[in-house]
Structures are given as C-alpha cells and as structure tokens.
Copies of this chain bind each other. A is one copy, B any other.
Amino acid sequence: MRILAKDVAGAARERAAGGCSAEEVELKGWVHRVRRMGGITFIVLRDRSGLVQLVLDKEPALTLESVISVKGTPALNEKAPGGAEIKAHTLECVSRAAGDLPYQVNGDTGKTGLEAMLDNRGLSLRHPKIRAIFKVQATIIEAFSAYLRSQDFTEIKTSKLVGSSTEGGSELFEVAYFDRKVYLAQSPQFYKETMVASGMERVFEVAPAYRAEKHDTPRHLNEYVSLDVEMGFIDSEKDLIELEKGLLTHIFEETARKNAAELALWNAAVPNADAVFQSPTVSYEEAVKIAGGESAKAGGGRIFDITPEAERFLCSWSLREYGSDLLFVNEFPRRYRPFYTYPLDASRTMSFDALFRGLEITTGGKRQHDYQAFLDVLPKFGLKAEHFTNYLNLLKYGCPPHGGFAIGCERLTARILGIANVKEASLFPRDRKRVEP
C-alpha cells in the first residue's frame, strides 16, 4: 500500500508502539537528494506531500529527479528529518531522469535568476519553495470562492472573447476569429454587471484576463488570474470595501490554517482579522498628502499621484499608524477612472483601490446604473453611444445600483509570501518576450 512522505512518521510511531501498522509500505516520488555515508545510501524522496529519508544498504544507480517506487519499513530515527525514515527493501526506478539537470531542484532558489527559473519551469516548480507559492495560490482561490458563496454569491464563467472593448482601451490582444477580429477580454466587467442586472445580484468569477501592455515591470503580467466580484443593491464603494475586508480575512485565515508549512518556507505571515478590520480608508486626496509627507520624512521627492512609490509609503504609514499593511484609498478623481464609474460629485468617484504591503491588489467601485446618466457621460469621455449598445441595453431594462472589484490573484499571492516579482507567482507567466513554456 502506498503511503505519502508526510505519513511516514505516524506509521513509524504506530509500528514502534506495536500497533497494526504494515511491516512494509510503499512510497513513490522523486529523488530529491542522495548522500552516501560509509556503506549506507540516504535518499531524500519527494512526493506531493513533502520529503522523507530512505535508507538503503546498497547504492542504486540513480540520478537526481528520477521517479522511484520504494518498498520498506517505516522506522523512528531522531536524526532523520521529521524524526522517521524508511528502511528500504526494494527500489525500482520508474522514470530515469537525464543527468544534465538545467535547474537545481534541491538548491537555494536565491541563486537562480528569474529567467532561468521560468525557462526551466517544469523543473523549478519541483522546488519545494516554489511549489509552495502555488499551494498558497490554490488556497487563495478556494477561500475566495468559499467566502463569496457563504455570502450568497454565484460563480459565473463568462466569455473571454469580446467583439469590442468596454474600456475603450488600446491595450487589447486581437484574435483572428474566423473571418473577423475579436479581442481578449481585459476584464469580465460588462458580463458580471450583466449577471447582477439579470437578477443573480451577487456574482464572482475566477478567470484569466489580458492586458496588452508593453512595459515589463515586477508588477505586471500580460495574462493574469482575475478574482472578480460584482454585487447589486449597494449604496457606495464603502459596501464593497467592507465586503473585501471580510473576504481578505477569510483568505488570510485559510492560508494560515492550510499553508503553515508553505508560509514558513517563505518566512511569511498573513495579517490577522483584527489588522484587516483596522485597515484605514483614506480618500485619494488624503492619500497623496500622506504619501507626500512620508516621502518628505524619508528625504524623498514630492508626490503628486499614487505611484508605485506612493503605494509603498502608504502601506508603511498604515502599518505604523493602524497596525495594518492593508489600506483602502477611495474617492479617486474622475479622470483616473473609467467613464462608467459612479460619481460622488463633479470631480470625484465612488471608487477605491486596496493596497497591501506596498502594492495595489484591487481596483473597484460603484458603477453608473442609470441609463440617462450613462448616456450623458459618454461624450465627456469622447465616447459614442453607438459603441455601447450592449451596455445601454443592460441599463435600459431595470438595473439595480451595483458595483464590484477585482483582486489580482498573482499580486495577492506574491504580497502574502513577500515575492518581489509577480511573474514568480504565475505558473506559466506571459510577458512581452515570453510565451514558452
């Protein structure tokens, strides 16, 4: 019977206590490390659950990363990692790895550059510390979905091929679709609004989103996983901020509960619920002033906008003043937000960003749900009503006040673990140069 690496210590304890544990168990996995001492060979086997030491009295001809199947007896050993090991009886090589590994799976990830890590993705993902990123990411997606379901949200899956862009932007990837051109969706904005207006009221989606941005920064991906939320019958963006606080609290709690080992590998911790709920909300205008003040104190330059530098200043300010490196900035000026953002007054909007550990992880806001107001605003943004037929139809036949937001999954993953470049938090990242593997 196959057991997992993580279960070896338990099986060894049971056997030592005279329990009914099997005398011989089977393990399957990858050769993580090989060490020879005297006549004895120690192999560290890696499977989906972790690492375990095998002890052999013969030296098998094995290469690192080969897949093996081992039969042996679980035994307690204080000196073994985890306090137990397998005294191997038989070892079979299931798949022999070539000897020219281009990436060191059992080494220090810090020694390898980003490009080598991504070029050899099939190998770098074997590294326990790199795998940990995606175990945490899986928890984020699960907890995001579970929390929203608990709040009566329905999961939706909408098309990523759109005939035209709602945002009116030029940052779109063009797809040859039979005899016409369509675009990869920048966000499910229009579709999630349609679902709210269709009466589902509360919807979420986990899906890829695309931005054809040419710049290559540690905070951008051309394809990312967008965690999207949209909710009907809200009063203002403040309802969304409250929702996101509850949502992030659940995500952090689940990450702490399920991924203690992964967080430890990164020497990372998640904020607790108190910190999340103490997170301040400041207006855009205040935020620029705060960031400017922090910059002046640090001997930096003047701040006129919420730049990446300002985001870092704001988070350290929030941590110092409120004990939380999460904060919300609302009331963005109209010129900085899409035309459909609901106005607070002539110059400001009911919109917000969430900043976490120095990085914007969320953009959201209330949307204009009034047909006539939507129609009136279009010319102010240089847009024409005939390009927004679908949107106008959405508002024409009864649409509740609503709004929503999106969390960048890779950004949240990276900020939880303290990863500097968001590309490391994408399994197979796409940037201007990279479409492989």
Residues of B within 8 Å of A154, CB to CB, are: 48, 134-135, 138
Q: Is A384 an interface residue (CB 8 A)?
A: no
Number of interface residues of A (CB under 8 A): 93
- Please give the count of copies of this chain that the complex contains: 2
CB nearest neighbor in B for A29: B199
Q: A66-B398, A131-B200 are in contact. List 15 more A-B contacts (CB 8 A).
A: A46-B199, A48-B154, A48-B199, A48-B201, A48-B232, A95-B369, A134-B156, A138-B156, A159-B435, A160-B160, A161-B430, A163-B436, A173-B175, A190-B437, A390-B436
- Inter-chain CA distance A398–B156, complex, in Å, is 38
Contact B435–A180 (Cβ < 8 Å):
yes
A122 CB-CB contact with B under 8 Å: yes
The 8 A-B residue pairs with the shortest CB-CB distance in the complex, in nearest-first order:
A125-B198, A97-B398, A48-B201, A65-B398, A159-B428, A97-B397, A390-B437, A138-B155
Taken together as a complex, chains A and B put the C-alpha atoms of A207 and B195 apart, in Å, by: 19
Report how far A101 CA is from B207 CA in the complex, Å.
32
Q: Is the CB of A126 within 8 A of B198?
A: yes
Q: Which of A35-43, A141-149, A297-305, A344-352 touches B? A: A141-149
Q: Which of B2, B47, B160 contacts A199 (CB 8 A)?
A: B47
Q: Is the CB of B157 within 8 A of A409?
A: yes
A363 CA to B239 CA in the complex, in Å? 44
A376 to chain B, nearest CB (A): 16
Verify if A174 is at the interface (C-beta below 8 Å from B).
Answer: yes
Asked whether any CB of chain B lies closer than 8 Å to the CB of A91, the reply is: no
Residues in B neighbouring A398, C-beta threshold 8 A: 30-31, 63, 65-67, 95-97
Task: Quote the shortest CB–CB distance from A45 to chain B (angstroms).
Answer: 11
- Give the Cβ gap from A361 to chain B, nearest Cβ, in Å: 17
User: Quick one: closest B residue to A139, CB to CB?
Assistant: B155
Give Cα A95–Cα B232 distance, bound, in whole angstroms: 12
Cβ–Cβ contact B162 & A435, under 8 A:
yes
A58 at the interface (CB under 8 A from B): no
Residues A175 and B174 in contact, CB atoms below 8 Å apart: yes
A123: Cβ under 8 A from any B Cβ: yes
Let me know if B155 and A142 touch, CB within 8 A: yes
In the bound complex, do residue A159 and residue B48 qualify as a contact, i.e. CB atoms below 8 Å apart? Answer: no
Residues in chain B near residue A95, CB distance under 8 A: 369-370, 395, 398-401
Contact for A94 among B134, B157, B401, CB less than 8 A? B401
Residues of B near A145 (CB, < 8 A) are 142, 145
**A184 CA to B371 CA, complexed, in Å:** 36
Residue of B nearest to A191 (CB): B428
List which A392-421 residues lie within 8 A (CB) of chain B.
Answer: 393-401, 409
Write 17 A-B pairs (CB below 8 A) sorted by A numbering.
Answer: A47-B201, A65-B397, A95-B369, A122-B198, A122-B390, A125-B199, A126-B198, A126-B199, A137-B157, A157-B225, A159-B430, A160-B223, A161-B430, A162-B435, A163-B436, A180-B435, A208-B208
